[in-house]
Structure 1
């Protein structure tokens, strides 16, 4: 194969990949574009796509009043903050132990952590529900987040990051009089900030959008997160108003979309530095 043929093949590959990327982007953006259109237009223009259609914001206050979205937002923020905090604390100590400490059964335990990554959470729904019932936690925000407090993914990421930190920094910290906790707090955690940010983005997105487990374990408005509240709101509407439902959908997904648009550069850099492919 000549150099010209190689160059032509490389260009063809780029064209095909670009076309595929645009196609996937189009498939992703169309539902969002429809939601934005219907949310900002009267219900009479749900399928009437004309440039002269009047804009309106009345669908948003209507959706906000028809369902207790303020409570749903509060529940979701409590859930996301509680779950992420527990994951970061528990995973930090576990990852540090796997990366730097020597103890019997270390390899076996870490293998079990990796195996946990291969277990689909849906398989554990029944057993998790039985456990929450035994603990008396059914229909509570704690019940939604508790099964996710220990994250094998976070342990794996942090352990890989901690192992790249030179051991000489441990020795320097010990000379300064730091113990294990002090070394972890002053050396490892600051150097692993990109990894913490990368996992934080994954965790917040996953638990903000989680639906099946919160639907099963909650029964009341006081404990429902946004995703479950939105589904109940959609099902109880008599004569479906897609403009109102899509306004509620934008309110639900809006914080994540705005956060990504504002911090997309930091998002990409944190994933790259954390080694996520």
Structure 2
């Protein structure tokens, strides 16, 4: 290995460590603040007493359980809809030839360049016209399809040998049978990775749920967390940190469990 290659590798390593520190420091501060009394939120003391009172206060300060249930329902509905729509669309783009295929796929890719916030007004008008304002369905419905999901699954389906599909047809599989028994199992790591991306994005989505929901019965966690920063007594960073950790914990656990499949799926799809 040349000196230039070693230098480049060292620079990349140092850069990665710096980025890692930038990411971990806010999380470490949130963990420290959440497990200590409010008096220790702005000072570091190794002898500071540990407490779980902040988590209890965060849970009782708002209907946290209801917010958690709403968020879980929203991301589950979105993920199920995206898996269905994206799988069918990706299979069609990967294995079928039809007029306008290239144009349609180009239109799908163009959606990756459109910020979702641009569509908020039209989405709200649509939900209002359907009578779905202030419902969980209204939060989920605009995201039932994903251009990124279609692209990622299409890239994966195109790597599946055609001979496997032909063998399944000879064995009597229908078109949907081939998709379900051949393509979906082989793309399982990609489904896991995309599921993590989708769940993470919609678990943390704030602006659209804030606009389309008005009641506790339909608000997700991100909107509910605003309660902790809108009190007359001021901001209690210990309670806010505890609530933030309870909100982020499911995502952190899911990523730690599926991180290997997450990385391998993008490499398999040819994304570097």
TM-score by length of 2: 0.95
Unaligned runs of 5+ in 2: none
Unaligned runs of 5+ in 1: 1-5
1:254 aligns with 2:243: no
Corresponding residue to 1:129 among 108, 124, 128: 124
Count of aligned residue pairs for this structure pair: 272
Deviation of 1:274 after TM superposition, in Å, equals 3.5
The residue aligned with 1:187 is 182
The residue aligned with 1:199 is 194
User: 2: distance between equivalents of 1:102 and 1:8?
Assistant: 50
1:95 aligns with 2:90: yes
The residue aligned with 2:12 is 17
The residue aligned with 1:171 is 166
Measured against aligned partners, the alpha-carbon deviations of 1:140-187 in whole angstroms (never above 9, x if no partner) come to 111111111011111111111111112222221221112211111111
Is this contact kept in 2: 1:194–1:273, CA < 8 A? no
The residue aligned with 2:260 is 265
Corresponding residue to 1:220 among 215, 222, 237: 215
User: 2: distance between equivalents of 1:134 and 1:53?
Assistant: 55
User: 2: distance between equivalents of 1:210 and 1:276?
Assistant: 25
The residue aligned with 1:3 is none
Corresponding residue to 2:2 among 2, 7, 10: 7
The residue aligned with 2:139 is 144
Corresponding residue to 1:61 among 43, 56, 60: 56
1:86 aligns with 2:81: yes
Deviation of 1:270 after TM superposition, in Å, equals 3.1
Kindly tell me: are residues 261 and 186 of structure 1, through their superposed partners in 2, closer, same or farther at Cα, counting changes over 3 Å? Answer: closer
> Pairwise CA RMSD of aligned residues?
1.4
The residue aligned with 1:235 is 230
Deviation of 1:132 after TM superposition, in Å, equals 0.8
Is this contact kept in 2: 1:99–1:160, CA < 8 A? yes
Is this contact kept in 1: 2:33–2:241, CA < 8 A? yes
Is this contact kept in 2: 1:198–1:274, CA < 8 A? no
Kindly tell me: are residues 222 and 30 of structure 1, through their superposed partners in 2, closer, same or farther at Cα, counting changes over 3 Å? Answer: same
Deviation of 1:115 after TM superposition, in Å, equals 0.8
User: 2: distance between equivalents of 1:113 and 1:60?
Assistant: 43
3-state secondary structure, aligned to 2:97: coil
Kindly tell me: are residues 238 and 62 of structure 1, through their superposed partners in 2, closer, same or farther at Cα, counting changes over 3 Å? Answer: same
Deviation of 1:194 after TM superposition, in Å, equals 1.5
Corresponding residue to 1:120 among 95, 99, 115: 115
Deviation of 1:237 after TM superposition, in Å, equals 5.5
User: 2: distance between equivalents of 1:141 and 1:200?
Assistant: 20
